Structure 1
Amino acid sequence: MLNIAVLVSGGGTNLQAMLDAKARGEIPNGRFACVVASNPKAYALERAKNAGVETEVLVRKEFSTQDAYDDALLGLLERHNIDLVVLAGFMTILSERVAKAYAYRMINVHPALIPSFCGQGYYGLRVHEAALEYGVKVTGATVHFVNEVADGGAIILQKAVEVQNGDTPEILQKRVMEQAEWEILPKAVSLFCDGKIKIQAGKAVVIE
């Protein structure tokens, strides 16, 4: 049984999708050991408490240096014996030091089909605004490993979602979450905990 930490900043809908998947028996080899929020008012903390998962709050601006923040985060993950870190709407940029400490043990969900609409500055509604501005007919979500490059780690899973006439960024965001993010993030967590993700030549290969 692997210990999982989920890093959150807001409402925690992706966290809830994972907790629900766990409750349905879909993540048999993983347990949610802690939820770490960058915002003490994040509703995700309530979701975690309702599921009986320990919570922690780490606010970046309360630390004078990046190193001090890194020390606190890495110490917390070590105390909980974390095997997998999941970024689920986490709005604090992590340093190269943290990424390297959890190389191929930290995953993120991004609301687009990488390499489209990703990298520095592409987060939240901005991703969906960019997709609509470009006029793509298909978008989606990607679960990938985290490395020192924003949205640059090996891709684990992707799922496409159709863009529809009349979509606003908010409508598209909701559809991508419901049809893609909430499906592939819990699945990727389960695959990792089952030992079914292998790295070959820098790429993630899923062994079904």
Structure 2
Amino acid sequence: MLRVAVLVSGGGTNLQAILDAVKVGTIDNTEVVGVISNNKNAYALIRAQKAGIEAHCVSPKDFEERGEFNTALMDTIDALCPDLIVLAGFLVVIPSELIRKYENRIINIHPSLIPSFCGKGYYGLKVHEAALARGVKVTGATVHFVDEGTDTGPILLQKAVEVRTGDTPEVLQRRVMEEAEWRILPEAIHLIANGKVAVKDGQVMIQK
């Protein structure tokens, strides 16, 4: 049974997609053992509580130094004994120590087709604003493993989404979530839970 910890800063729609997929069996051999947010008001924490899942808030605002926050975050994660950490809209820089400790066991969902519209400063609506400003005809979402760069880790899954005339950033964001994020993030967890994913020389190999 794959033990999954989900880190999220906001509403937790991707968290809900994971919980729903576990419930109906689209993701099997998996248990969500905890949800951690840096935001005490994140609706994701309520989603976790409603599902009977351990919910924690660890915020940088509660610590005088960033190192203290990093230690508290790592301690909270370690206490859950996760096999996989899922960043589902977690808007905090992950400590390097955590990335090294959980090498190839942390995945992130990003709302674009990496390497487009990714890296520092590209998060939330900013990604979709940039895509529309550039006039791309196709965007999408990417699930990737997390390394010490920003959105630079090995790509696990991607799904394209059409950009339509008249799209606003909000409309496009919703379509990318519905058509890509909520599909490929559960699929990625399912593949990992069933031993079908390997990382070799910075490339992800998926066994069908």
User: TM above 0.5, one fold?
Assistant: yes
Q: Distance in 2 between matches of 1:60 and 1:72?
A: 9
Helix, strand or coil at the partner of 1:35:
strand
Q: How many residues align?
A: 208
Partner of 1:24: 24
Q: Report matched runs for 1:1-208 at 5 Å.
A: 1-208=1-208
1:1-44 deviation digits (Å, cap 9, x = unpaired) = 12110001111000000000000012211100000011111111
Q: Which amino acid aligns with 2:31?
A: R
Q: Distance in 2 between matches of 1:75 and 1:83?
A: 15
Q: Distance in 1 between matches of 2:153 and 2:64?
A: 28
Q: Distance in 1 between matches of 2:191 and 2:84?
A: 12
Q: Distance in 1 between matches of 2:133 and 2:24?
A: 38
1:134-190 deviation digits (Å, cap 9, x = unpaired) = 000000000000111000000000000000000000000000000000000011011
Q: Which amino acid aligns with 1:64?
A: E
Helix, strand or coil at the partner of 2:114:
coil
Q: Distance in 2 between matches of 1:63 and 1:138?
A: 42
User: Where in structure 1 do 4 or more consecutive aligned residues deviate above 4 Å?
Assistant: none
Q: Distance in 1 between matches of 2:118 and 2:184?
A: 18
Alpha-carbon distance, 1:74 to partner? 1.4
Q: Select between 175-184 and 97-106 the one with higher mean Cα deviation.
A: 97-106
Helix, strand or coil at the partner of 2:157:
strand
Q: Distance in 1 between matches of 2:28 and 2:159?
A: 23
Q: Distance in 1 between matches of 2:73 and 2:194?
A: 26
Q: Which amino acid aligns with 1:38?
A: N
Q: Which amino acid aligns with 1:94?
A: I
1:180-201 deviation digits (Å, cap 9, x = unpaired) = 0000001101111111111122
Q: Select between 157-166 and 95-104 the one with higher mean Cα deviation.
A: 95-104
Alpha-carbon distance, 1:206 to partner? 1.0
Alpha-carbon distance, 1:70 to partner? 1.7
1:50-92 deviation digits (Å, cap 9, x = unpaired) = 1111101100121222221121111112111111000011111
1:99-154 deviation digits (Å, cap 9, x = unpaired) = 11211000000000000000000000000000000000000000000111000000
Helix, strand or coil at the partner of 1:117:
coil
Unaligned runs of 5+ residues in structure 1 are: none
When the two chains are superposed, the root-mean-square deviation of aligned CA atoms in Å is 0.9
TM-score (norm 2): 0.98
Helix, strand or coil at the partner of 2:139:
strand
